[in-house]
Structure 1
């Protein structure tokens, strides 16, 4: 999760927000990447435990 947040998600969000909002997008990139990482973690959690419950 840490690698995806700091490497993949943060870089992608930073580039997108930089083009859309300029300097303000750079500032907001960290918060947005944290939210996306949290949602990704929640989805992975639900997928893993739903898969284990069905066995």
Structure 2
């Protein structure tokens, strides 16, 4: 079991249990039609430090 966990350490676990081999972002989780609205909300409400932390350009 430990060896199996070590082998999957590079995977970013999905909350639903699926394994994804890439870094998940909010863009991966939100449907394409909602992304512009979500981006606008994030820019309006999150401080610049958090935007930078999540890789959202100012």
Q: Which of the five TM-score ranges fits, normalised by the shorter chain?
A: 0.3 to 0.5
> TM-score, normalised to structure 1's length?
0.33
> TM-score, normalised to structure 2's length?
0.31
Which one has a larger percent helix, Structure 1 or Structure 2? 1
Higher relative contact order (CA 8 A, sep 6+): 1
Which one has a larger percent strand, Structure 1 or Structure 2? 2
